[in-house]
C-alpha cells in the first residue's frame, strides 16, 4: 500500500488526489462500501476471495474465501450481509460481514455477472450472462424467488424504485431488458449500443447510465420517458460505473486505457479523466469521504481517489495520441502459448502486424 | 471479431498476434481456455509479468498496436470494431474492398445460446 497526502500529491493537472493504492487479491473486479463500519469489500476474481479493506487505515485486514471467480458484490446494510456473485460457480455467496465468514450460497443460472439490490422489496437482482436471465433472490430468506428471462450476456443491473422497474444490460445482445419489479416479468427491451456492461442509477436527473463498452461511450436512459436520451463519449472500453453521493457526477472505469471518466450529470458531457491503475473495472464511492474506490483488475490494486474535477477540463490537442506512434516498436521475446517456444519480434520483420494485448477476463 | 479479421487479413500481408497479459494466476491455462472458448487460432504470446505491455505504455485491455513493415508503430488503441477495421485497412488497404461474407465474424462461446456478436471478453458483461 502507498498513501499520498497533501497538495504535492495532486496529479493529473489538478484532476484528482491519489489517496492510496491498496494491493488486494488477484483480478479485482467489483467493490462495495460499508460506510458505517469503514470497510470496502473487493471481489478478487483470480484469488477466489473477497479482500476486506479498512477505509481508515487503507489496508487489507481480511480475506474471505468464496467460490470460483467472484465478480461483483453488493452490501445489505440492514442485515450486514455481503452478496457476491461467482461467475464460474453459477452461485451467489452470502457473507456475514460482522463475523467475517460465509453464511450461505444460492445457486443461480450460469455466469452470474452483476448484482443490484431493491431495498424496499428486500430483493437482490443478479444478471446471469450465459443463462440469459435475471435471478431474483430474497435477501432475508436467501432463496431464489424468480428467474426472469432477459437476453444473452445479461449482466449489469440498476433498479428504478420510483417506478418499480429493474433494468438489465445484455452484453452480447446490445440491449437492455426492462423488468417489472412487482410481477418479476420482462416488459420489453431497449437497443442501446454495442456490448453494454455496468449500469448505475443517476438520481440527480432521474436516469440510468449504461457503459457501452463496444463504442467507448455511456448511454443515458431517461426513466420518466423510458427512452435513450444521450450517448456520451468516454475513454476506451468502459466497463465500470458509479455515481457520486448526490448524483451530480457519474464515474466510469475505462478498462482499455487505465482511466476513470468523470461525467457531469447536468450536461451529458465528460468533464475529464483521472488516471488510475491498469485495466480498471468496478467503481464504488465512499459516501462519507466522497472518495472513489476503483478496482484495477490488471494491477491487482484498489485506487482510492479524491476527485477534484468539478467542471469541464481543458483537453489535450489529441487525447487519443500515444507516445509510441511514429516510433520503432521495441523488440520483444515472449513464449508462445501453444508451443512454449520463445518468439522474437525478428520473426515479423518486414511484415505488417497488429499486436493485440488481451486478458481472458 | 479479431479472429475473423485475422483470417481475412493474412492474404493482404497483415498478421494478428495476441499477447496475453495480467492473468494473475495460471496464465497459460486461462489463455488456452479463452482461445478454445472463442475459437482463436492466432499466434498467442504470454506476457506474464506484463513487462512488455508496460514498456509500451499499455494501460488496459484490449489494446491494439498497429505496426507497419518497417517496424514503425502507426496507431495504438482501437478496441472497438469500427476503429479496429479502420486502422487495419490503413495498414492493408485491400481489406477495404474485400467482400466480407460475414461468416465467422461473430461466434458465441460454449454455453451461450443466441446469435450475437463476439465480444472482447465474455467476462465484460459485468
Q: What is the pLDDT of residues A117-168, one digit of tens each?
A: 999 999 999 999 999 999 999 999 999 999 999 999 999 999 999 999 999 9
**Mean pLDDT across the stretch A177-190?**
97
Lowest mean pLDDT among A225-229, A309-313, A319-323, B105-109: B105-109
Greatest extent of chain B over all pairs of C-alpha atoms, in Å: 43
Secondary structure of chain A: what % helix, strand, coil (to 5)?
A: 5, 55, 40
Record: contact A354-B64, CB cut-off 8 A: yes
What's the confidence (pLDDT) of residue A4?
38
What's the confidence (pLDDT) of residue B103?
38
How far is Cα A224 from Cα A243, in angstroms, rounded to an integer? 19
* Main-chain phi, psi angles of B123, to 5 degrees: -70, -20
* Main-chain phi, psi angles of A7, to 5 degrees: -65, -30
> Which A residues in the span 49-68 are in contact with B, Cβ-Cβ below 8 Å?
none
Record: contact A337-B79, CB cut-off 8 A: no
Nearest chain A residue to B36, by CA? A360
Cβ atoms within 10 Å of A319's Cβ, excluding its own: 8
Distance from CA of A164 to the nearest CA of B (A): 22
User: Which residues in A lie closer than 8 A to residue B47 (C-beta atoms)?
Assistant: 334, 357
Lowest mean pLDDT among A168-172, B1-5, B111-115: B111-115
Task: Find the CB nearest B114 among A173, A259, A282.
Answer: A173
What's the confidence (pLDDT) of residue A190?
97
A71 Cβ under 8 Å from any chain B Cβ: yes
pLDDT value at B124 more than 70: no
Element (H, E) at A134: strand A133-138
Nearest partner of B76 among A255, A257, A291, judged by Cα: A257
What's the confidence (pLDDT) of residue B113?
54
How far is Cα B3 from Cα B115, in angstroms, rounded to an integer? 17
What's the confidence (pLDDT) of residue A166?
98
C-alpha cell read off for B122 = 465474455
User: Which residues in A lie closer than 8 A to residue B40 (C-beta atoms)?
Assistant: none
**A96-108: per-residue pLDDT in tens?**
999 999 999 999 9
pLDDT value at A282 more than 50: yes
How far is Cα A234 from Cα A269, in angstroms, rounded to an integer? 9
What's the confidence (pLDDT) of residue A314?
85
Record: contact B50-A151, CB cut-off 8 A: no
What's the confidence (pLDDT) of residue B95?
86
> Which A residues in the span 229-288 are in contact with B, Cβ-Cβ below 8 Å?
236-237, 239, 254-259, 275, 278-282
Record: contact A355-B72, CB cut-off 8 A: no
Record: contact A195-B88, CB cut-off 8 A: no
**Mean pLDDT across the stretch B65-69?**
97
C-alpha cell read off for B74 = 502507426
Record: contact A256-B79, CB cut-off 8 A: yes
Q: In which band, very low, low, confident or very high, does the pLDDT at B83 lie, cut at 50, 70 and 90? A: confident
DSSP string, A321-340: --TTTTSBPPP-EEEBTTT-
What's the confidence (pLDDT) of residue B2?
87
pLDDT value at B59 more than 50: yes
Record: contact B124-A357, CB cut-off 8 A: no
How far is Cα A284 from Cα B111, in angstroms, rounded to an integer? 31
pLDDT value at A254 more than 90: yes
Distance from CA of B99 to the nearest CA of A (A): 21
Q: Give percent of chain A with pLDDT exceeding 70.
A: 95
Residue whose entry in the numeric block shows the C-alpha cell 465500470: A240
Which of B4, B15, B76, B126 should be substituted to probe chain A, the one whose Cβ sees the most A Cβ atoms within 10 Å?
A: B126
Go through A219-245 and write b for each residue having 16 or more CB atoms within 10 A of its CB, e for each that does not: bbbebeeeebebebebbbbbbbbbbbe
Q: In which band, very low, low, confident or very high, does the pLDDT at A5 lie, cut at 50, 70 and 90? A: very low
pLDDT value at B98 more than 80: no
**Mean pLDDT across the stretch A195-222?**
96
**Mean pLDDT across the stretch A108-122?**
97
Nearest chain A residue to B118, by CA? A172
What's the confidence (pLDDT) of residue A10?
39
Task: Find the CB nearest A323 among B52, B57, B117.
Answer: B57
Contacts within 8 Å (CB) and 24+ apart, A34-41: A34/A75, A34/A77, A34/A97, A35/A286, A35/A287, A35/A288, A36/A77, A37/A97, A38/A288, A39/A97, A40/A284, A40/A286, A40/A293, A40/A302, A41/A73, A41/A75, A41/A82, A41/A84, A41/A95, A41/A97
What's the confidence (pLDDT) of residue A14?
84
B82 vs A275, higher pLDDT: A275
Distance from CA of B17 to the nearest CA of A (A): 5
> Which A residues in the span 113-172 are in contact with B, Cβ-Cβ below 8 Å?
113-114, 127, 129-130, 132, 151-156, 169-172
**Mean pLDDT across the stretch A202-227?**
96
What's the confidence (pLDDT) of residue A202?
95
pLDDT value at B123 more than 80: no
Lowest mean pLDDT among A135-139, A170-174, B22-26, B78-82: B78-82
What's the confidence (pLDDT) of residue B100?
52
Record: contact A334-B123, CB cut-off 8 A: no
Amino acid at each position: 500500500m502507498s498513501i499520498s497526502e497533501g497538495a504535492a500529491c495532486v496529479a493529473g493537472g489538478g484532476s484528482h488526489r491519489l489517496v492510496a493504492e491498496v494491493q488486494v487479491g488477484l483480478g479485482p473486479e467489483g467493490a462495495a462500501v460499508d460506510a458505517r463500519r469503514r470497510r470496502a469489500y473487493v471481489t478478487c476474481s483470480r484469488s477466489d476471495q473477497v479482500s476486506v479493506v479498512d477505509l481508515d487505515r487503507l489496508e487489507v485486514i481480511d480475506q474471505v474465501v468464496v467460490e470460483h471467480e467472484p465478480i461483483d458484490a453488493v452490501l445489505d446494510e440492514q442485515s450486514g450481509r455481503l452478496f457476491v456473485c461467482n461467475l464460474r460457480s453459477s452461485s451467489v455467496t452470502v457473507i456475514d460481514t460482522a463475523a467475517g465468514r460465509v453464511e450461505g450460497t444460492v445457486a443461480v443460472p450460469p455466469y452470474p455477472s452483476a448484482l443490484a439490490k431493491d431495498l424496499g422489496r428486500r430483493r437482490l437482482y443478479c444478471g446471469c450472462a450465459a443463462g440469459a436471465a435475471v435471478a431474483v433472490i430474497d435477501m432475508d430468506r436467501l432463496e431464489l424467488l424468480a428467474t426472469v428471462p432477459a437476453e444473452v450476456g445479461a449482466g449489469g443491473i440498476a433498479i428504478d424504485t420510483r417506478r418499480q422497474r429493474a433494468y438489465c444490460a445484455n452484453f452480447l445482445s446490445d440491449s437492455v431488458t426492462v423488468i417489472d419489479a412487482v410481477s418479476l416479468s420482462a416488459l420489453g427491451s431497449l437497443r442501446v449500443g454495442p456490448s453494454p456492461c455496468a449500469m448505475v442509477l443517476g438520481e440527480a436527473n432521474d436516469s440510468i447510465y449504461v457503459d457501452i463498452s463496444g463504442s467507448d461511450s455511456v448511454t443515458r436512459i431517461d426513466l420518466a420517458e423510458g427512452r435513450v436520451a444521450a450517448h456520451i463519449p468516454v475513454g476506451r472500453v468502459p466497463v465500470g460505473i458509479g455515481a457520486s453521493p448526490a448524483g451530480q457526477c457519474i464515474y466510469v472505469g475505462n478498462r482499455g486505457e487505465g482511466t476513470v471518466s468523470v461525467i457531469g450529470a447536468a450536461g451529458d458531457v465528460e468533464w475529464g479523466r483521472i488516471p488510475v491503475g491498469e485495466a480498471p473495472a468496478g467503481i464504488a464511492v465512499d459516501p462519507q469521504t466522497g472518495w472513489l474506490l476503483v478496482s484495477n483488475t490488471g494491477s491487482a490494486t484498489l485506487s482510492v481517489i479524491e476527485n477534484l474535477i468539478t467542471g469541464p477540463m481543458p483537453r489535450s490537442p489529441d487525447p487519443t495520441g500515444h507516445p509510441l506512434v511514429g516510433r520503432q516498436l521495441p523488440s520483444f521475446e515472449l513464449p508462445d502459448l501453444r508451443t512454449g517456444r520463445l518468439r522474437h519480434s525478428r520473426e515479423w520483420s518486414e511484415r505488417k502486424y497488429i499486436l493485440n494485448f488481451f486478458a481472458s477476463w | 471479431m479479431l479472429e475473423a479479421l485475422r483470417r481475412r487479413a493474412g492474404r493482404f500481408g497483415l498478421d494478428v498476434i495476441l499477447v496475453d497479459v495480467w492473468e494473475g494466476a495460471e496464465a497459460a491455462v486461462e489463455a488456452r481456455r479463452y482461445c478454445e472458448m472463442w475459437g482463436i487460432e492466432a499466434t498467442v504470446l504470454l506476457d506474464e509479468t506484463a513487462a512488455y505491455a508496460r514498456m509500451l505504455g499499455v494501460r488496459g485491455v484490449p489494446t491494439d498496436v498497429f505496426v507497419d513493415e518497417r517496424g514503425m508503430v502507426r496507431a495504438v488503441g482501437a478496441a472497438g470494431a469500427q476503429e479496429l477495421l479502420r486502422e487495419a485497412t490503413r495498414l492493408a488497404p485491400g481489406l477495404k474492398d474485400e467482400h466480407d461474407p460475414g461468416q465467422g465474424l461473430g461466434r458465441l462461446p460454449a454455453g451461450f445460446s443466441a446469435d450475437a456478436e463476439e465480444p472482447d471478453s465474455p467476462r465484460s458483461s459485468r
